[in-house]
Chain A
Amino acid sequence: MTAVTTPPKKQAQRGRPGQSSPKLAYLPIIFLAFAIGIPLLIIVVYSFLEKPSQGTGVKWVFTLENYKALFIQEKLDGTTALDTRYIKVLWTSFYYSVVTTVVTLVLSVPVAMWIATRDAKKRNLLVALVTLPFWISILIRTYGMRQIVADEGPIGKFLGIFNIEWSILYAPPATILGLIYVFLPFMILPIYASAERFDFRLAEAAYDLGAKRMTVVRRIILPSIRPGVISGIALVFIPALGSFLQSDMLGGGKTNMVANVIANNFGQARNWPFGSALAVLLIVLTLLFVLIMQGAAQRRGEKVELV
Chain B
Amino acid sequence: MSHTNTASRKRGKLVNLRNFPGFNPAAWFVLFFLYSPLVYVVIYSFNSSRIGAVWESFSVKWYGKVFENTDIQRALKNSLQVGFVATVLSTLLAVMAALGLLRMQRAGKAVAMALIGAPLIIAEIVLAVGTLGLFIAVGVPLGKIGLMVAHTAFCIPFALLPIRARLSQLDMAPFEAASDLGANERQILRRITLPLLAPAIFAGALLAFAISIDDFITSFFVAGPGATTLPVYIFGMIRSTVTPEVNAISTLLLLFSGSVLIGSYLIQRKRR
Q: Using CB atoms and an 8 Å cutoff, list the residues of chain A in contact with chain B.
A: 1-3, 9, 12, 14-29, 31-33, 35-43, 46, 57, 107-108, 110-111, 113-115, 117, 119-120, 123, 126-127, 129-130, 132-133, 135-141, 143-148, 150, 152-154, 181, 184-185, 188, 193, 196, 199-201, 203-204, 207, 213, 238-239, 241-245, 249, 258-259, 262-263, 266, 272, 275-276, 279, 282-283, 286-287, 290, 306-307
Residues 143-187 of B at the A interface (beta carbon under 8 Å)? 149-150, 152-154, 156-158, 160-161, 168, 172, 175-176, 178-180, 185
User: Quick check: A24 and B100 within 8 Å, CB to CB?
Assistant: yes
Count chain B residues whose beta carbon lies closer than 8 angstroms to a beta carbon of A.
Answer: 110
User: Quick check: A262 and B54 within 8 Å, CB to CB?
Assistant: no
Chain B contact residues, majority secondary structure: helix
User: Quick check: A29 and B97 within 8 Å, CB to CB?
Assistant: yes
How distant is the Cα of A204 from the Cα of B111 in the complex, in angstroms?
Answer: 46
User: Quick check: A12 and B125 within 8 Å, CB to CB?
Assistant: no
Chain B, 90-124, contact with A by CB distance < 8 Å: what is the 0/1 string?
00011011011111110010011101111111111
**Given A3-B120, A147-B41, 11 new contacts (CB under 8 A):** A12-B103, A24-B99, A28-B97, A29-B97, A43-B126, A119-B11, A129-B31, A132-B258, A143-B238, A188-B30, A203-B17
Chain A contact residues, majority secondary structure: helix
User: Quick check: A32 and B27 within 8 Å, CB to CB?
Assistant: no
Chain B, 35-56, contact with A by CB distance < 8 Å: what is the 0/1 string?
1111011001000000011100
| A217: min CB distance to chain B, Å | 8
How distant is the Cα of A185 from the Cα of B40 in the complex, in angstroms?
Answer: 19
16 CB contacts below 8 A, A to B, read: A2-B157, A19-B99, A19-B102, A20-B102, A20-B189, A23-B100, A28-B94, A32-B156, A36-B153, A113-B17, A123-B3, A152-B54, A185-B34, A213-B16, A244-B124, A307-B116
